[in-house]
Amino acid sequence: MTKIWIVRHGEAAASWEKDPDPGLSVLGQSQAEETAKALMDIVPRDAQLVSSPLRRAQETAAAFASKRGDDVRVDPRFSEVRSPVPLSGRKAWLQEFMRQDWSEQSDDLWEWRRDILSGLKEVTGPTVVFCHFLVINAVIAEIENKPEVLQVYPANASFHELKLEGGELSLVQLGQQMKTRIN
């Protein structure tokens, strides 16, 4: 049995339609530091650290990696959802996407989901993956075998524990959820 923690990045410095790759806000940096402290108490020393290539995830990972003196491997499979529209239309597209079921999604979005799951199922030891809101939702939809795109509302810098056993992922513990819903 292998433990995996998936961590949502801290608060981004810009919204969905303003910047395709924002770093963390001041609050997001503080959230990343708090999560790093909490993870120090539960993540084994030999755990691998993996991050989405997006800045907000990498900066969240860096807070934990610096406390451990470790490197972070970047894996594009854990990137945010692939948006088929220009930046200016991204917020509206995401809002619609989150109201849908997986049965309504394009092959490209299914491929994105399969890539995430493949990345998780390839881990060979304890691993912490720094990723995004919709990555976590795609994982939970698969584990729970539920059709809705939106499954959970993971708070910024929240972490969620999974286990991988016999090639199958399962949820051990869901982390902190947002107190309010996304617009």
Per residue, the 3-state secondary structure of 53-107, as one string, reads CCHHHHHHHHHHHHHHCCCCEECHHHCCCCCCCCHHHHHHHHHHHCCCEHHHCCH
The number of folded domains in the chain is 1
Is residue 180 included in any domain, yes or no?
Answer: no
> For 8, phi and psi rounded to 5 degrees?
-80, 140
The fraction of the chain above a pLDDT of 70, given in percent, is: 98
Identify the helix (H) or strand (E) that includes residue 8.
Answer: strand 2-8
pTM for the whole thing?
0.96
Q: How far apart are CA 41 and CA 157, in angstroms?
A: 16
Residue 15 in this model has a pLDDT that exceeds 90: no
Copy the structure tokens of residue 64: 């934990």
3, 65, 139 from 74: Cα distances, Å: 19, 13, 18
Q: Which domain holds residue 37?
A: 2-173
Q: How far apart are CA 6 and CA 175, in angstroms?
A: 9
Instruction: Report yes or no: 5 and 169 within 8 Å, Cβ to Cβ.
Output: no
Which CATH number covers residue 99? 3.40.50.1240
- 117-175 residue pLDDT tens: 999 999 999 999 999 999 999 999 999 999 999 999 999 999 999 999 999 999 999 99
Residue 183 in this model has a pLDDT that exceeds 60: no
State residue 18's pLDDT score.
84
Is residue 93 included in any domain, yes or no?
Answer: yes
Is residue 183 included in any domain, yes or no?
Answer: no
